[in-house]
Each structure stands twice: as C-alpha cells, then as structure tokens.
Amino acid sequence: MTADCFAVKGNIFYSKDMVTIKVVPDGYIVCETGKVKGVYEVLPDELTHINIIDYGDRLIIPGLVDIHTHAPQYSFRGLGMDLELIDWLNQNAFPEEAKYSDMEYARRAYAIFVNDLKKSATTRACIFGTIHVDATIILMDLLEATGLKCMVGKVNMDRNSPEYICESGAGSIENTKKWLRESADKYKNIRPILTPRFLPACSDWLLKELSHIRKEYGCPVQSHLSENIAEVEWVKALFPKARNYGDAYDSFGLFGKEAPTVMAHCVYTNGEEMKLIKKNGVFVAHCPESNINLSSGIAPVRAYINERIPVGLGTDMAAGSSNSIFKAMTKAIQVSKLKWKLADRSLKPLTIDEAFYLGTKGGGAFFGKVGSFEEGYEFDAVVLDDGNLLHPQPLTLKQRLERIIYLSDDRNIVAKYAAGKHIWPEPANSRSVAADLT
Amino acid sequence: MTADCFAVKGNIFYSKDMVTIKVVPDGYIVCETGKVKGVYEVLPDELTHINIIDYGDRLIIPGLVDIHTHAPQYSFRGLGMDLELIDWLNQNAFPEEAKYSDMEYARRAYAIFVNDLKKSATTRACIFGTIHVDATIILMDLLEATGLKCMVGKVNMDRNSPEYICESGAGSIENTKKWLRESADKYKNIRPILTPRFLPACSDWLLKELSHIRKEYGCPVQSHLSENIAEVEWVKALFPKARNYGDAYDSFGLFGKEAPTVMAHCVYTNGEEMKLIKKNGVFVAHCPESNINLSSGIAPVRAYINERIPVGLGTDMAAGSSNSIFKAMTKAIQVSKLKWKLADRSLKPLTIDEAFYLGTKGGGAFFGKVGSFEEGYEFDAVVLDDGNLLHPQPLTLKQRLERIIYLSDDRNIVAKYAAGKHIWPEPANSRSVAADLT
C-alpha cells in the first residue's frame, strides 16, 4: 500500500450493471494512487490507519460523465430555440463560434463555461471547441487548471459553412497539426480529440487527412451522427457511395475500431448503421434535451441498450440548455417514455437505474475504467448533501438518490474528486478560474 | 389618486396577447390600491411624487400562475416515476395522501410545500389538498400567511379508491360543508375551490350534491379530465350515457358555464369534448412534465389555442417534479415540438412568447384580471436578477427574459408582489412559515 491512500465515508452508490444501482449505506471507498481499491461496509484491519474523510450522512456517487457538449455555445444557452438543426447552426451556432477568433472574447467566454462546469457534478467531458487553434488551447488551459478530466477538440470544417467560419482543407489540416503539437505533453488532465464537425461540413479530402493524423497522433474521435432527417438526407446526397451516414465515416477510418469514437445523437440510426456502430464499438452520446429543443426527435436508446451498444449521456449545449448530467438522466427517462407512448411500444422506457448507469459508467467507459467504484476504476466521485430538499417522511437511500437526480442543483454538491484528486471546492488560497470572469 | 400608490422601476415584460411579449426597457409600473394604473416609459408629471422602488437593470414580469398542483404530493416529488396514472395513484399518491389525517404530519409537510412555493416565482395557484378537512385548513392557514393568492380544495372521493383514503358519499358532503363553513370569511388571500378528485373516484350522488354545494357557496371547480387512455376508457364504462368525459362532468353542472372550472391535462380531448370545453368556457391546465412522467402523452395545446380555449400551465406535483412555472413554460415548448415532430404536423410548436403568455395571463385569467400589467390588472409581479447567468456577449432584453425562463431558479428572484402587496422576501422580523419547518 502506498502513502497515496485514503478513504471517503458516506452513503455510496454506483453501478456494476444497468439493472440495479448498488447501494452501500455508511460505507467506505478506498482510493489508492487515484484508483478505487475497494468499497467496504467495514474498513478492513490493514486499512484502518489510512486517512478517512467522513462525509457523514451525505451521498457519494461516481463523477458524472458528459460525452458530448460544445464549449463555445455555452454563451447562448437558453436562447433561440425556435429552429431546427441546419437553420439553428447557421443562425445561432456559427455566428457565435466565429467570435472565438478573438482571444479576449474566447478567454472571457470559456472562463464562464469552465467555471460553471467545475461547479457541476461532472468530472469528465468530451468537448467541442471551435476551428480556432489559439482559442481551443485557451479552453484546454482553463480546463486543465480545474482538475476536470476532459477530451477537447479543435473543430474541422472546410465546406458548406459560412465563409467566416469555414477553413480551407489544407488550412484545417495544418492547424490541426499545430494544435496537436502545441497541446502534446502540455496537460495532465486534458487530452485532444479529433473533431470533424459533421459530414456535411467536411470534404472527402479533409476526412482522409484527418484519418492519417488520427493514426499518427493516436487520438480518439468525436462527431455527430444521424441527428436530423434533413441532415441525414444531405449526407446521402454528399456521399452517394456510402450505405449510411456511419458507413461514410467508416470509409475514412473515423468510425470506431482502432479509432475510439463517440458519435452524438444517433436519432435516426437503425438497421445497417446500428450494426456497424455495434461492430466497430462506437459510443453513442445520447443528448435528449438537444434532440427535443431542435425538434430532432427521440433516439432509440432502448434499442442500443438491447444491442449492447455503448451509450453515455451528453448535454450538447447550447442545443441543450443545461450543463447538468442529472438533468440529462431525467430527460433521457422522460423522452424514452414519450418514444414508447407515441412511436414504438416495443422500446420500453428507461428506468432510473439505467439512466444513472448511462450518466456514470456508460459514458465513463469512453475514458477507460471510469464511472464506477468497482476495483481498479479511476476514483472520480461527487459528494452530495440533500439537506435542503426537505421532506416530512422517512426516505430510503435509493429514494434520496432519485431526488438528487430529479431535484438537485449545484448547491447540493459538497465535494468532487477526479482520478483520486480533490478538485472542488478549491482551497480558499488557490487561483481560481473565477479570476478570469469579468 | 389614493395614498396607496407606488411605482416599481425596471425592465418590464408582459403579455397583452399570445403573439408578442411587450418589453418596456427601464420603465415604470404604477400600482394603485393593488391594481395596475399603467406602465410608463416616463412617469407622468402628476405621478412623479409617488414612492418609486427602483430595481435598476433587473427584470420585472407578472407573477407566475400555476393552475394545477397537489400540495400533499410535494413530499414525494422526484420519486417513483416508473408508473402510469392509475398504478401511480394507488402506489404513490393515495398512501401519501392518507398521512394527512395526522395533523402533525400535515403541518410539517405543508410547511415545506408552502415555504418552497413562497420562494418560487409563482404568485397564484390552484391547489388540491386531501380529503381531510383539518389538514386542508392547515394548508390554507399556511398559504394565507405568505400573501400568495390561492384557491385550495378539500378533495372529494367516495368510490374506487383504497379504503384508507375513501369517504362515504354523505361523509364527503358533510365534510365539504364543514370545510366551507370553517374557511368562510377567514381568509384574505385564500379561496376554497370544489375539488372532486376525478370521475372514477366520485359517485353520481356525490357529484350531484357537490353541484348543489357549488351553487350555494358560489365556488369555482377544479378536477382532472382525459389525462390517460385507461382512465378515459374507465370513465366511459362508469358513465355510459355521457358522450365524453367532459360531458359527464357537465351533466352534473360541474363543467364551466356558471361554475368557473379548471380541468387538468386534457391530453385526450378532441372533437365533441373540445367543443364543450370551448362552449362552457372551461380552463385547460396544461401540465407537460406530469404528462411525460406518467407516460400520459402530450396534450394538443396548439389546438386549444387555435380554438381560443382558455389555457394556463400547471406544475401538477408530484407527477411533475418541480414547482417552477418557468420550467413548465420550457416543458410546454419542448413537448409541443415532440407532438409536432412525432404525432401531428398540423400542430406547430409553441413559441417562447406563447409559453410566457400561458404561464402568466393565460392561467391568470382564471383568477380574474391577473397575469398582465395592463391597466386594471391586479398587481402581481416578480423581480428577477439575472446577474449570476454570466455571458460574454451583449444580450437584448428579450434574450435576457428567455434565459430567465430556461435557466433561472429561486436564486434569481429578488422580490415578489401579489395584488399590490410586497410578499417576498419577508422583512427580517416577520414570522415565517419557516418556523414550522423542522
């Protein structure tokens, strides 16, 4: 046993499988060199001398995992929700993203995003930046300082986009290499992820070159898949040889297999595309609020679960309005009920245990052994105080967790750990991201 | 002009119609004896001497109106969401409501509900209690002290309910009269509303007698209508002579006309029932989150709007998890998008202006001239500070309101007025409901 060993004590919740949340009342999680050594009802004799942080009657859950969101769009969350995807991109997202060519703006805007993410229950996230290298580096620097474990991508787009946000193919590749060189070995917590925006915005040449870069740098990949009917039709027209949207990515080596890949949405995925996702081990980032707000539809998450396709949750701001994966869990349950009621009676609604799994271990798997308190998992944890959620009756621990999922906000978060390190709240004397908030 | 005249100053928002929210930057609302005298960009000369409460750059909107919720169910909000209506009532709602025969429990539970409602942006609400007279009086007492303007109902149910929560018909009528006598002339802010639970739980005899009581006491009426398919079928079987669920209420004189009536849900209302609602001037309480959580479906609100049927919003806790009418506005927009996308392309999604109208003037109309700042309206107002919703770019006032609707919580509420009276926050030395919180 190393010196870097401690325990947290409290009411512990985590998922081993999707069926039932495991509950350990008043138990101990032992963390050794950043990883879970074990969960114990009673601390074994050989561990009784380690430092114990006692959180009393509070709840301790794995850190939440957000496997799809857009940092530059956070500035217009809650705005302009009357459009569908393509119009929404052109009217809301692209004009805002263009502003990140201005470093002063990027610093100010990203500080707001990062500061709020730090205060949320999220410990891991896959994050889109913009096409701009310098702004993306600023985002990575700010995130690094928080201790959050993130994958961050400089976006690639070289066609079918407004001129002010469109790269040349060669420029996009050159900048991607510059970004990867600049971020190499710079970060402990942040990792670059290749980020072709979506197929309509990327030429064949660009996709091919990105695939080469991916191999050279060993990056994972994030993008969008089958989100909206008009978008899917557009991709069909742009890639006439591809059997489906996913197959087009696959033809460029950007769809799982040796390239760990997370694809957001998958609302209109079925048949062949679903088989390919499964075969290639592609992760689905289910973003229920985004899919409602942009009138995209409801992803068939139950079908993915039945097929044992890896699924996690995404907030997809600013098509989603909130950075909370708790809210994504409740939204995932809610839309699954509507899917079942209005569209397909064979796809039964998600349970609270399943939604909790998706927001922890489900998405966490994209980061490795993350999102659970099973032995060997990285110790990401959130400590929650539900004391302000008053109630007149006794509640079981499971009920207390349900209420946290449906009712909590950042006020309920007492402490946060990522990979064994206490990251929130910061000690009073540390330099905070808040210093960048003006 | 009376001595009881003052102005509030700030950025003012209100609805005259459903099409466009009226915005008056840095304007004045003048309140005289509890009613709006006018909204002014510049205060007229004859009013310059009145007291002005300057809220600076903050937002001032009409108090929000919740026309359907259940106070006793607040204790289990966010719990047990895996059931549909009838099973949910039997497993969750009825066992909890039975506890309100215990006055100590009722006082403790209702204090939590009332304290949270006080801190919300709601100024008016139509509220279900339980069958218990004494507990309902406690609820009314607690609400009265807050200054909120509410209609509160002792529930009637004499069949098809578990024995522990079922009244005899005669007992239900006797208790209703007792409750009305006890609450008569007792309250300034709270008004009793007749509350047959829903048709399956009320015998013909009970409904007939309630109709007589209604006439005698001049009460309005609240209940549930066409929420769930199994429920609608059940009503068909119970009232074989009725042409539809609404017609059955109407046959007992409990469906609008001389009896001001609000009916929750109306998810499966169409054709004849919709015509009857319109003809009788019945209010529809649209409760989008509840309809999702219980897998009820999505109410055709656009059709009601097209027909000029009066519609307001309801939180319907605890089938809804939140007491926030802001959240009900966003949910109303969101489900309308899914209705349009998945079920009926003729029912176009609600706009933010329409949702704001529904949560203010739409529901407010059930209380009279309430929910707007037009001349003669009762002065219900909420003052909001959006300073914690940081953003890097300039925003229009309308955008600031949109963000309040999507992103705010109780921390953004600076002050609240109902019928001209400042009701929140309470002065430091007043006796608060919080004293009942244990």
Query: Is B78–A390 a contact, with Cβ atoms under 8 angstroms apart?
Result: no
On chain B, the residues whose CB falls within 8 A of the CB of A109 are: 392-393
Q: Number of A:B CB contacts under 8 A?
A: 129
In chain A, residues with a C-beta closer than 8 Å to the C-beta of B321 are 330, 406-407
Of B134, B127, B14, B130, the closest CA to residue B63 belongs to B14
Residues of A in contact with B342 (CB under 8 A): 297-298, 338, 342-343
pLDDT at B366 over 50: yes
Of B78, B395, B409, the CB nearest to A402: B78
Distance of alpha carbon B384 from alpha carbon A386, whole angstroms: 26
**Residue A224, helix vs strand vs coil:** strand
Q: B290 vs chain A: nearest CA distance in angstroms?
A: 10
The runs of H, that is alpha helices, within B147-244 are 169-183, 204-217, 229-238
Identify all chain A residues contacting B392, using CB atoms and an 8 Å cutoff.
Answer: 75, 99, 105, 108-109, 112
Model confidence at B431, in pLDDT bands (50, 70, 90)?
low
The number of residues making up chain B comes to 438
Name which of B349, B391, B409 is nearest A112 (Cβ-Cβ). B391
pLDDT tens digits, one per residue of A385-431: 999 999 999 999 999 999 999 999 999 999 999 999 999 997 765 55
Contact A392 B109 (CB under 8 A): yes
Nearest neighbour of B391 by CB, restricted to A75, A298, A322: A75
Coil, helix or strand at residue A303:
helix
Instruction: For residue A175, give how far its alpha carbon lies from the nearest alpha carbon of chain B (Å).
Output: 25
The pLDDT, as a whole number, for residue B435 is 53
% of chain A exceeding 70 in pLDDT: 97
Check CB contact under 8 Å for B402 and A342.
no
How high is the ipTM of this complex? 0.96
- What is the pLDDT, as a whole number, of residue B403? 97
Of A116, A390, A392, the CB nearest to B105: A392
Mutation pick from A59, A100, A292, A331 vs chain B, by most beta carbons of B within 10 Å, is: A292
Among residues A237, A293, A247, A292, which one has the least CA distance to residue A269? A247
Q: For residue A174, report the phi and psi dihedrals to the nearest 5 degrees.
A: -60, -45
**Interatomic CA distance for residues B335 and A288, integer angstroms:** 12
Q: Which residue of A has its CA nearest to B345?
A: A295
Contact list in A for residue B115 (CB cut-off 8 A) is 390
Do the chains contact at B82 and A406, CB–CB below 8 Å? Answer: no
List the single residue in B109, B342, B407 with the smallest CB-CB distance to A321: B407
For residues A366 and A343, give the distance between their C-alpha atoms in angstroms, rounded to a whole number: 30
- Taking the CA of residue A295 and the nearest CA in chain B, the distance in Å comes to 6
Q: For residue A296, what are the CA distances in angstroms to A188, B81, B399? A: 37, 25, 23
Nearest-neighbour CA in chain B from A256: distance (Å): 31
pLDDT of A108-133, one tens digit each? 999 999 999 999 999 999 999 999 99
The structure tokens listed for B335 are 């489900």
Do the Cβ atoms of B82 and A351 come within 8 Å? yes
Task: Compute the distance between CA of residue B321 and CA of residue B312 in angstroms, rounded to an integer.
Answer: 18
Is the pLDDT score of B434 beyond 60?
no
Which residue of chain A is at minimal alpha-carbon distance from B75? A391
B169-183 helix and B133-146 helix, angle to the nearest 10 degrees: 30
Closest CA–CA distance from residue B211 to any residue of chain A (Å): 35
Cβ distance B77 to A392 less than 8 Å, yes or no, reads no
> Residue B135: its chain A contacts at CB < 8 A?
none
| Contact: A295, B349; criterion CB under 8 Å | yes
Which member of A78, A390, A437 has the closest CB to residue B403? A78
| A50-89 pLDDT per residue, tens | 999 999 999 999 999 999 999 999 999 999 888 889 999 9
Work out the pLDDT band at B33, boundaries 50, 70, 90.
very high
Report CB contact under 8 Å: B340, A81.
no
pLDDT per position as a tens digit, B145-172 = 999 999 999 999 999 999 999 999 999 9
Please spell the DSSP secondary structure of A348-402, one letter per residue: PPPPHHHHHHIIIIIHHGGGSS-SS-STTSB--EEEE--TTS--SS---HHHHHH
The answer for residues whose C-beta is within 8 angstroms of residue A216's C-beta and 6 or more apart is none
Hey, of A87, A119, A337, A408, which one would you mutate to test binding to chain B, going by the most B CBs within 10 A of its CB? A337
| Backbone phi and psi for residue B94, each to the nearest 5 degrees, phi listed first | -65, -45
pLDDT digits (tens, 9 = 90+) for B294-338: 999 999 999 999 999 999 999 999 999 999 999 999 999 999 999
pLDDT digits (tens, 9 = 90+) for B180-230: 999 989 999 999 999 999 999 999 999 999 999 999 999 999 999 999 999
| Per-residue model confidence as pLDDT tens digits over B399-411 | 999 999 999 999 9
| pLDDT over threshold 80, residue A438 | no
- Which of B220, B335, B233 shows the shortest CA–CA distance to B287? B335
A314 DSSP 8-state letter:
-
Tell me the pLDDT tens digit for each residue of A247-278.
Answer: 999 999 999 999 999 999 999 999 999 999 99
Q: Across the interface, do A392 and B108 touch by the CB < 8 Å criterion?
A: yes
Q: Residues 6 or more apart from B317 whose CB is under 8 A from it?
A: B69, B70, B73, B74, B77, B323
Name the closest residue on chain A to residue B229, using Cα atoms.
Answer: A341
- Region B174-184: what's the mean pLDDT? 96
DSSP state of A259: B
Residue B337's pLDDT is 97
pLDDT of residue A196: 98
Task: Nearest chain A residue to B77 by CA: give it.
Answer: A403
Under 8 Å between Cβ of B290 and B309: no
For the stretch A283-315, pLDDT in tens is: 999 999 999 999 999 999 999 999 999 999 999
- Considering only CB atoms, A292 lies closest to which of B116, B337, B399, namely B337
pLDDT at site A430: 57
Give the end-to-end CA distance of chain A in Å, rounded to a whole number.
45
Return the number of other C-beta atoms located less than 10 Å from residue A408's C-beta. 22
Q: What is the 3-state secondary structure (H, E, C) of B330-343?
A: HHHHHHHHHHHHHH
- List CB contacts (< 8 A) between A116 and chain B: 390
pLDDT digit string (tens) for A309-324?
999 999 999 999 999 9
Residues of B with Cβ-Cβ distance to A338 under 8 angstroms: 292, 295, 297-298, 335, 338, 342
Predicted confidence (pLDDT) at residue A432 exceeds the cutoff of 80: no
- The shortest C-alpha distance from A279 to chain B (Å) reads 30
**Per-residue pLDDT at B438 exceeds 50:** no
